[in-house]
Amino acid sequence: MKAIRQYRLGDSGELTYEEDVAEPRPGPGQVRVRVSAAGVSRLDLAVRAGTHRWLPGLPTIPGREVAGVVEVLGAGVPARWLGRRVVTCLGLTSGGYAELAVREVAAVHEIADNLPEDSAVAAIVTGRAAVGVMDVARMAPEDVVLVLGAAGGVGGMLVQAAARRGATVVGAAGCPAKTAVARRLGATFTVDYSQPGWAEHVHAELDGRHVTVVLDGIGGDLGRQAADLLGYGGRMVFFGWLSGQPVEVSAREVYERALSWCAVPGPGPVNRPGSVRRLEERALTAIGNGLITPLVRRFPLGAAATAHAELESRATAGKVVLIP
């Protein structure tokens, strides 16, 4: 089969496209999927570079998000799964950047007839993160919601969700092309946070109103500036720190400004059995029903190194997906 192989940890140049890789065989309780779409995430970048706390044995096939058609059943798997379109997260086992992948049947979701495979892949990890953020943020029509990284995979979904709930949405992104994307996704107004004075621009545009919710996947100085825009009693929800550093905050500040600070995933998905799967199901339903439309950037499987490089340099918008 065709697949991407990695023999050493390092930059995107370590991803090698090969056309004669051994096909995986499903074990008991597993299915083999002919992959139609494989998601690329920032976790993939960290694992590839060797900076994540979990690292695979080498050589490896990267990738943990796949959608496609079940073509082989392992022992004990009901025959009804054969030929079904499915999507799954492979966990930390990787193996997704390939024409074929195996996974326990209990971990796969059947894809609705109206849902393309690349949209399903966008739901399975990126979408579940967005749903988790929505649960914690509790956005309402009276809110002013500032989304950092508003043209990203998660950020773009959050812009749509906040707009659908009637909130005033400030879409913050790092270049004019991405602010234009945020505007198309439903932002009330946008701001380019690569420009000096961006926070002052938001303050002026709101004309006396305060930001009530910040959804932050960037952290660092940008996250800190966004937090400073929160009014008394505001809510700050973290879903990552693309900058490499989380926002610094003191208990005194949280108390004196009556702020709520929360990280996603929080203790619910981590500690309650089945809660991650329920988030995946809700994300698939929301996208299937048209409540959220994932923005997808497609690359051929053989261009995985280019996809990694562009995602790493923040040159992409939306969810990056490889097509075998």
Given this model, what pLDDT does residue 244 score? 83
What does the pLDDT look like over 21-61, one tens digit per residue?
999 999 999 999 999 999 999 999 999 999 888 888 999 99
Single pTM value for the model: 0.93
Would the pLDDT of 143 be above 60? yes
Beta strands in the chain (DSSP E): 3-6, 15-18, 30-40, 65-73, 85-89, 100-104, 109-110, 144-148, 168-173, 189-192, 211-216, 230-238, 260-263, 296-300, 319-323
Would the pLDDT of 174 be above 90? yes
* Burial class for 283, CB neighbours closer than 10 Å (0-12, 13-18, 19+): buried
The DSSP letter of residue 247 is P
Would the pLDDT of 237 be above 70? yes
Query: What percent of the chain lies above the pLDDT cut of 90?
Result: 88
pLDDT range class, residue 268, cuts 50, 70, 90: low
Would the pLDDT of 267 be above 60? no
Q: What average pLDDT does this structure show over 61-73?
A: 97
Would the pLDDT of 64 be above 90? yes
Q: Which domains does the chain have, with CATH numbers?
A: 3-111+294-323 (3.90.180.10), 127-269 (3.40.50.720)
| Both structure tokens of 178 | 């991405």
pLDDT range class, residue 271, cuts 50, 70, 90: low
Pairing of strands 100-104, 85-89: unpaired
What does the pLDDT look like over 79-115, one tens digit per residue?
999 999 999 999 877 899 999 999 999 999 999 999 9
Q: What average pLDDT does this structure show over 2-12?
A: 97
What does the pLDDT look like over 153-173, one tens digit per residue?
999 999 999 999 999 999 999
Q: What average pLDDT does this structure show over 177-191?
A: 97
pLDDT range class, residue 275, cuts 50, 70, 90: confident
Given this model, what pLDDT does residue 240 score? 86
pLDDT range class, residue 248, cuts 50, 70, 90: confident
Given this model, what pLDDT does residue 266 score? 53
